[in-house]
Amino acid sequence: MDLDLSSFSILVSFFILLITLLRATSHSRTKMNPEPKFPPGPRKLPLIGNLYLFAGFRPPHRTISDLASRYGPVMHLKLGEVNTVVVSSAEAAKDVLKTHDLNFAYRPSLLVTEIICYGNTDIAFAPYGDYWRQLRKICTLELLSVKRVQSFRHIREEESFNLCRWIGSQSEQLINLTERVNLTTSDVVARASLGKKTKEKAAFISVIRKAIEMAAGLHVADVYPSIKLLSRVTGMRARVERLHKESDRILENIINDHRATNAATNSNESKKHEDLIDVLLKFHDSGDELHLTIDNLKSVLQDMFSAGSETSSSTIDWAMAEMLKHPRILKKAQDEVRQVFDKKGYIDEVYIHELKYLKCVIKESLRMHPPIPLLLPRECHEQCEIDGYEIPAKTRVMVNAWALGRDPKYWKEAESFKPERYLDIDSVDYKGNNFEYIPFGAGRRMCPGISFGLANVELPLAMLLYHFDWLLPGGMKPEKVEMTETFGITTRRTNPLYVIPVVKRPLPAT
């Protein structure tokens, strides 16, 4: 949510000032529509409201969390001209995501997603309604069902194996683990979505990365939505349109390739390894009530990739960093993995469910480092009341999942990485029923990719722990492993994880 201060910012500020002064001359509107009784919040400056709070490089979820400790768990911010309510307690999160779930199942329309996602026709940003319900049904029953996720097992195993083979070739040398893990998860999601034979995979990965970076910004056009010209004068619209054109071209080629291959292949063979394009094309080709146009299909594919790739790689990265910082935990996780898989001599998904401690490590990583710290933004559909405060229609709502996971009101030693805590509190799960723990969100708009996401995290982590011991560079002490966050739509570590692998269990020959 960094503020996009482009070279046009002075021009833009002048422009906003002018418009606002013109508006200020008309008092009558304010008199007719007095400001509703919003929750408390920091002082709003004329024109920019609270935007000044986000001008630095501090991750927004931390800034918001500090403010919430002063102004309360339901807080009002004015971002430019947009009223925003931030929720930072489990009770208020339950109000938004469960009690008033339907009313908050809407997303605001943002410049980047509107252009990139074909007029918000993807799953993540489609307005709540029939179209979104249909997509969501396709998503849960077809694209991300447990059966479908299992069908991608060979992809996960091959790509994780490739990762470990590369690491094995670098034994006792310094490697950038973050970068390699990132490539692996991108490859898994790209192969599952786009298929193996796609020539344009690398180009697609690069264009979606750029789109995610752009979507992470808090753009001037999105905080002054009534000033339509802003997206053009800042040059933002043109930049996003160029990116969209490129992504559209790549997707068009990929889809055409698929159609040509499918037409040429015997249908039984193609069914064996269906990728997500094959599944989506069925909804395009069939004329039944769940019909998707090619543009719909493209926007869903983009979602799969953008929502599925970096979330998984950042989870692996944080889990590895936390274990390196806590050698006792690293050893305990390694002992478990080696005990379960030593009889086999390699890792596959058959016995992965036996890795109870590793699952606790992942759970704890997601508590302290939820990849999407502020859930995707919601919008209030009709006026309602949260925690005794009036929330008018069209208010943007942010839920700070990061703050909930670190609140000492709900967690003993909230700032300590303690996977063992879940051995005592078995009831904490990912389903969005415990509102102090919502790394995948909750309610109607919660993440539909939990099984796929977790599978993409568990297998590579188990392999990294099984085959290698890990040393820190230059004899660095474990407590010195850096845990600072950079900001973007997902929380990543600021600096890549540089480590030295030492092969302990050789990889089986291929």
Residues that bind ligand HEM (CB under 6 A): 123-124, 136, 144, 303-304, 307-308, 311-312, 315, 371-372, 375-376, 439-442, 445-449, 452-453, 457
Within 10 angstroms of residue 27's Cβ, the number of other Cβ atoms is 8
Min dist CB 266 to ligand HEM, Å, is 28
- Identify which of residues 357 and 452 has a Cβ nearer to ligand HEM in the complex: 452
Long-range contacts: 253-262, Cβ < 8 Å, 24+?
253/200, 254/194, 254/195, 254/198, 254/200, 254/204, 255/281, 255/294, 255/297, 255/298, 257/197, 257/198, 257/199, 258/195, 261/197
Min dist CB 488 to ligand HEM, Å, is 14
Min dist CB 481 to ligand HEM, Å, is 21
- Identify which of residues 453 and 501 has a Cβ nearer to ligand HEM in the complex: 453
Quickly list H helices, 25-89.
28-32, 60-71
Q: How far apart are CA 291 and CA 284, in angstroms?
A: 6
Q: How far apart are CA 190 and CA 308, in angstroms?
A: 10
* DSSP per residue, 414-457: TTS--TTHHHH-TT--SSS-STT--TT--STTS-S-HHHHHHHH
Q: How far apart are CA 304 and CA 87, in angstroms?
A: 27
- Identify which of residues 15 and 422 has a Cβ nearer to ligand HEM in the complex: 422
Min dist CB 207 to ligand HEM, Å, is 17
Q: How far apart are CA 361 and CA 363, in angstroms?
A: 5
Residue 139 marked as a ligand binder = no
Q: How far apart are CA 46 and CA 24, in angstroms?
A: 11
- Identify which of residues 97 and 333 has a Cβ nearer to ligand HEM in the complex: 97
- Identify which of residues 123 and 281 has a Cβ nearer to ligand HEM in the complex: 123
Min dist CB 352 to ligand HEM, Å, is 16
Rounded to the nearest 5 degrees, what angle is found at the Cα of 152, between the Cα atoms of 365 and 446?
45
- Identify which of residues 61 and 505 has a Cβ nearer to ligand HEM in the complex: 61
Q: By the 8 A CB rule, do 347 and 164 touch?
A: no
- Identify which of residues 16 and 459 has a Cβ nearer to ligand HEM in the complex: 459
Q: How far apart are CA 111 and CA 106, in angstroms?
A: 16
Min dist CB 127 to ligand HEM, Å, is 10
Count of residues making up the chain: 510
- Identify which of residues 180 and 237 has a Cβ nearer to ligand HEM in the complex: 180
Tokens standing for 124? 């993540």
- Identify which of residues 220 and 380 has a Cβ nearer to ligand HEM in the complex: 380
Q: How far apart are CA 305 and CA 309, in angstroms?
A: 6
| Helices and strands (H and E) in the chain: how many | 21, 11
Phi, psi of 444 (to 5 degrees): -55, -35
Min dist CB 402 to ligand HEM, Å, is 10
Min dist CB 60 to ligand HEM, Å, is 15
Min dist CB 155 to ligand HEM, Å, is 13
Separation in Å, CA 396 to CA 54, 381, 444: 16, 10, 17
Min dist CB 300 to ligand HEM, Å, is 8
- Identify which of residues 1 and 372 has a Cβ nearer to ligand HEM in the complex: 372
Which residues lie closer than 8 Å to 294 by C-beta, 6 or more apart?
Answer: 252, 255, 284
- Identify which of residues 49 and 449 has a Cβ nearer to ligand HEM in the complex: 449
Q: How far apart are CA 507 and CA 510, in angstroms?
A: 9
Dihedral sign (CA 120, 124, 127, 129): positive
Q: How far apart are CA 260 and CA 70, in angstroms?
A: 60
Min dist CB 442 to ligand HEM, Å, is 6
Q: Residues marked as binding for heme?
A: 447
Q: Give the residue numbers of the binding site.
A: 447
